[in-house]
Every structure is written in C-alpha cells, then in structure tokens.
Structure 1
Amino acid sequence: MNSILMIMNSPQAEANWFESWFNTPYYHILYKDRDDSEAQLFMDNLTHYLNLPENGSILDLACGKGRHAVYLNQLGYQVTGMDISENSIAHASQYANESLQFKVHDMREPITEQFDAVFNLFTSFGYFDETADNIKALHVIKNSLSEYGFGVIDFLNASYVIANLVPEETKHIDGITFNIKRYVEHKKIIKEIEVIDNDKTFLFKEKVSALYLEDFEKMMEQCGIYMLDIFGDYKLKKFYKNESERLIMIFK
C-alpha cells in the first residue's frame, strides 16, 4: 500500500508552495526536458533588442538551475543568478566563474547591487498570494536597475493559457509517474501534481496568479515603472491578447 505524504498540509505551506516544490528533486525531473535551444534563441533576440553594453551586467532573478544565466554568460555578459531554491542554486553553482555568480535570494528582498538589465524569465512571477508581495518584487527589480538599465518580465499570457488549458495528463519520466491536473480557481492557474515513486506518493501544487497586461500596468504604475515595449513570443513578435503564448514586458 502506498504511503501518501501530503506536502500541502497547512495554510503556511499552501502559501509558500514554491519553497518546498522548487527544492524537491521531482520538480527538476518533471521539467528537465525544457527546450534549451528556445531559451537561447530568446536570449539572443532579447540582448540584441536591448543593445546592452559589451560585458554588461545582468541579474537573472528567479534563475532556477541557471540555464538562462549560463548562456548569457557565454554571450559575454557579467551575470548574477538569484533564486529562492537552495537546491537550484547548489546545482547552478557548478557553472560559476569570475563573471557568473549564483546566490540564494527571495525576490521580495532588497538587492544592494545595480545592473544593466534585470531579467525575470519563464513565468517566475506571480507566485505570491498577496498583491503587496508582487509590488515588492517589482520594486526590487526597479531599484536593481542602473540609470540606463532595462527590466524584463517574461510571463505566461493568461488569456491564451486559460483558453488552452489541458485539464489532466500523465507523464512517465525516469520510472516516476506524474499525474497532473490543471484548473483555474480564485484568479489563479493551479497545477496539482501527484508524484508516484515506487511505494511513495507525494502531492504538490503550483499556483500562478492569472495576471493580465492591465494588472501589470497597474502595479508598474504604483512602482513608478515605465513600460517600453510588449512582445508575444520568444521571437519578439507583436503581442496579441488571445493568440500570443507569452507576455514579455520591457520596462525602465
């Protein structure tokens, strides 16, 4: 009989789901086949568009295991990757060098350094239950920009995602079964993940706020942030509310 370990067993754990889920090895197993070529194409297009200074400094905020940060460093930039997950930073740190550093950091907490660009990529925003926490994160990004620096948030396009939501699917990876359910509740896009590993079953949740462009515009206005451009995919094509897969915002 399976032993079931309920990961989300308290209001505190529910609110801070990302701290437990991002630190578990199952998170990295489930998402290990993310498309690196697509990520690199995005970084090529983005750095070319921003025309960052040669050897410029970039903060990859919520960098995960560092796939974007490592490639940006290979392009010649001074890169710092920060993430709340100790396990992700431990993995990413194997790639560290004089111009590539990784640190454990909560994006709501102030950062003393300033950068030519701050990137928040692959829907690494909107995890928090309180709008005030999202505002804190935006303030951190703004205050971490140099005088001529650019902020970038690469977020899901909520209209497209909700319209194309796959309610249930099962994935088998490395002998582990992932039963996934997706739904929208209280303005959040929720993914319930049941992990079956031999005789153990774990339950996790991902929760991302269904933030739309107008939501970001309101929050950015509160923070004194100025939107410069909006794109709808990693080729930096025009954003269409009902058709684009991504919501990519460039701001100062």
Structure 2
Amino acid sequence: MEWFESWFDTPYYHLLYSNRDYTEAENFITKLTKELQLPTSSTIIDLACGKGRHSVFLNKLGYEVIGLDLSKQSIEHNKQFENETLHFKVHDMRDAIDSKPVDAVFNLFTSFGYFDNEKDDKSVFQSVYNSLKPDGFFVLDYLSEEFVRETLVPEMEVHREGIDFNITKKIEGRHIIKDIRFEADGKPFHFFEKVKLHTLETINSYATECGFERVKIWGDYQLSEFNAEKSPRCINLFKKK
C-alpha cells in the first residue's frame, strides 16, 4: 500500500489534524465561490474530500456536490450527510471521474503531490479536465514551495486526547517528509507523509499540457495576491479552455 492509503484510513490521522479551523475553511469557501461567480445551480466535485467538511458546507451554500476520496472509512463516515444534492464516493484521483460534466473541481488543503511517478500527477490533471464542462474551473490549493523551505520546523510534539505525536520534518530532494511516531492502546505506531515540492512552473506545465489556462494564483485563504517568499499557500485557479 502507498503511505497515504494506510495513514489516511486510520483514526489517528483524523485525530492529529482535528484542530483544523472550520471557520477559516468556511470563510475561504465562501470567498472562493463568490470570486468564481458560481451560481448555486452549479455542480462541484470536492476531490480528496476527506471527512467531507468542505463538501457539506458547499452543499449548504446551495451547490450540488460530489465528494470523492480514496479512504473508504472517510466515505463511510460521510454517507450520513448525503441528500439529493450531496453524494460521496470512494475514488482514486488518478482515475477517470464517473459523473456528468461539472462546473468546478476543488482540490483543497494540499491533497495533491503524493505520487512518486510524474505520470500519476499528470493523470490527476487529465481526469479533472475531462470531468469539467467547457470554461469549468479547477482550484488546486497547494503548499507554497519557497515558504515551506523558509519556515520548516524540524521537530515538534502534538498532544491530542492523551496521545503524544512526535513529528519530525525534513526536505529530501523535491519532497518534504513528515515522520510521525506515537503510542496508542499500548502499541507503538509509525507513519509518514511525503509530498512533492512542486514549483509553480511544474504545476502550470501539467495544467497546460491537458488544456487548462491558469488565470489566477492566490497566496492565502483570504485570497490575497500570491508572493513566492511570503505566501503560505499557492492556490491555483485554472480554467478549461
């Protein structure tokens, strides 16, 4: 199994990241949909939706939403939120998306860059492109390479519900690697995360090769202008030509 297949499907992954700011995420989604001027009749795919927080909020805003994720446990959890305009499916983002053409695809909070093979990275863009209507939007919310290199904290300890997560980070070549060790239920655990430090140029080359045009880059969840050295995020807006 790939690292993300095993790690993302454990309860410990969700526990470690349980402090995520829902208010910030909802404000970001609200700003983003207004910026894109997406009418509430639009259909949006939340690609790599996790436990569905963005999908559910988008649906509350009035959109028809399809949440897709590789984690069977996450999708099983999300089924409780389903209604006539909100659906969840297990899906590998490298594969073709089985749906009618949609108005937008959102890939949020660094849910890309996990694959070692460049062919897999490109297949994600092609899959998204094929799923969109003409002039449809693809939002890729990614880490900011230079900012990550400048602000890397090599060691930290995170406490969650009686568990001490010991985390180390390092950069090896084009990857940032996060090593995660902890004890739970009397047993030691070891997981890691490995994400490519894609450059702006590389991401854009994947997009243009598939037929996208990059129309905007934002640098944070307030949709500020992107600055390579100072921006904590690299939020790419692509449009299907």
Partner of 2:90: 104
Per-residue CA deviation, residues 209-249 of structure 1 (Å, 9 max, x unaligned), is 00121111121122121111111011111000000000001
Partner of 1:22: 8
Partner of 1:8: none
The structure with higher relative contact order (CA 8 Å, sep 6+) is 1
Alignment length, in residue pairs? Answer: 238
Give the SS at the match of 1:227.
Answer: strand
Equivalent residue letter for 1:26: Y
Partner of 1:207: 194
Q: Does 1:128 align with 2:149?
A: no
Partner of 2:207: 220
Per-residue CA deviation, residues 2-27 of structure 1 (Å, 9 max, x unaligned), is xxxxxxxxxxx4xx100000001100
> C-alpha separation between the residues in 2 aligned to 1:158 and 1:124?
15
Q: Does 1:46 align with 2:32?
A: yes
Q: How does 1:59-70 map to 2 (within 5 A)?
A: 59-70=45-56
RMSD (CA atoms): 0.9
State the shift of 1:148 in Å: 2.8
> C-alpha separation between the residues in 2 aligned to 1:96 and 1:53?
21
What's the TM-score once normalised by structure 1's chain length?
0.92
Q: Structure 2, unaligned stretches of length 5 or more?
A: none
Give the SS at the match of 1:226.
Answer: strand
Partner of 1:182: 169
What's the TM-score once normalised by structure 2's chain length?
0.96
Q: Is the 8 A contact 2:166 2:181 kept in 1?
A: yes
Per-residue CA deviation, residues 112-162 of structure 1 (Å, 9 max, x unaligned), is 322110000000000000111000000011111112311100001011012
> C-alpha separation between the residues in 2 aligned to 1:145 and 1:198?
45
Partner of 1:239: 226
Q: Structure 1, unaligned stretches of length 5 or more?
A: 1-12
State the shift of 1:186 in Å: 2.5
Identity among equivalent pairs (%): 50
> C-alpha separation between the residues in 1 aligned to 2:32 and 2:233?
14
Q: Is the 8 A contact 1:176 1:198 kept in 2?
A: no
Partner of 2:152: 165
Q: Does 1:86 align with 2:69?
A: no
